[in-house]
Amino acid sequence: MWIGCGYDCSRLVFMDPMTRTSQALALWGWLAGMMLAALTASAGCSAEWTTEGRFDRGLVVVLPGVEGISALNLDICYGLAGGGLDWAIELRDWSGLLGPLGNQGDRKRNRKIAAEIGEHIVAYQDEHPGRSVVLIGHSGGTAIAVWIAEAMPEGRQVDGVILLASSLSQGYNLIPALEKSSRGIVNFYSHRDGVLAGFSSPGPLTMDGQHALAAGKFGFEWTGPGGRSWAYQRLYQIIWDKRMERLGHMGGHAGYTDQRFAGKVLAPLVMQGVWSQQGINDIIVEALKPPPASQPDTQPDTQPASPTTAP
């Protein structure tokens, strides 16, 4: 399932060398900034998010980007809790000692860690049978989220996977993860994400090791033989909308981590027991409603239209 509009990606694939170089430099600058953010952020998550009472209601696992735990992913957790989510919220640091570039490139290690987190989820399911588990990944953490789902053993699934500004390649095969996610996968992406533009330029590879268009900028596309796989009917893709600026998301790489976006969009999405195109549309429309007239709004006072489903 897709939400969005058509876009001519070819003009970015075959861009002139100067543009490609500038986008690669933007990506390198982002990675350096994220290393600084990780060093200045508090580690771990609030103890009040991991009480036994919360574990009894469900579990959300938040996977940070290649920077590791930082103010960005902590804001996702605060936003989820502030948005009314009463499940346990775990912020899992999967990063290593080599910094963002090492975290980005060590695919063997990253898949091993994803499998270990999957084992943790299985143990949680054994202790709390019938409780939901939803994975939320940002940037590089989206690959970890997908690989956790892929690594779930036979007969086990997570409930859903939410991807924010994914640095997986556009053509990455999501079928194994979709088959291990009972609700499916929701991918939020933005053509304004300048950080992810650098992956199709000389510079860092995507999390799955490609110089390719990133799914967090252009969405996922089925590249297998024949028509689109039936499993992709449970892939829901949400393109950035200018009205999301009301929620602190200006279209860039970090916009999805704003507490307002997490509270108004991600928390209701986690709590929605079954995902469907209409149900997700309803959450987005409700979140994008302008505030009442008594509350000044710096954005144009336009009524949100239902997102358009692209073919």
Which sequence spans correspond to the domains of the chain?
10-287
How far is it, in rounded angstroms, from Cα 306 to Cα 285? 6
Answer with the residue of higher pLDDT: 194 or 160: 160
Query: What pLDDT score does 20 carry?
Result: 42
Order across the sheet with 235-239: list the strands: 88-91, 59-63, 133-138, 158-164, 181-189, 235-239
The per-residue pLDDT of the chain, averaged, comes to 83
Q: Which residues, listed in sequence order, are joined to residue 186 by a DSSP beta bridge?
A: 162, 236
Strands 88-91 and 133-138: unpaired
Q: What percent of the chain has pLDDT over 70?
A: 76
233-281: per-residue pLDDT in tens? Answer: 999 999 999 999 999 999 999 999 999 999 999 999 999 999 999 999 9
pLDDT tens by residue, 23-38: 444 444 444 444 444 4
Q: List, for residues 111-147, the tens digit of each pLDDT value.
A: 999 999 999 999 999 999 999 999 999 999 999 999 9
- Tell me the pLDDT band of 203, cut-offs 50, 70 and 90: low
Residue 197 tokens read as: 């533009």
CA distance 201 to 197: 8
Task: Return the pLDDT at 296.
Answer: 55
The answer to whether 90 and 64 are in contact (CB under 8 A) is: no
Closest C-alpha among 102, 254, 274, 264 to residue 193: 254
pLDDT at 285 exceeding the cut of 90: yes
Kind plus residue range of the DSSP H or E element containing 162: strand 158-164
Using the predicted structure, report yes or no on whether residue 282 has a pLDDT greater than 70: yes
Report which of residues 295 and 218 the model is more confident about.
218
Q: 10-287 maps to which CATH number?
A: 3.40.50.1820
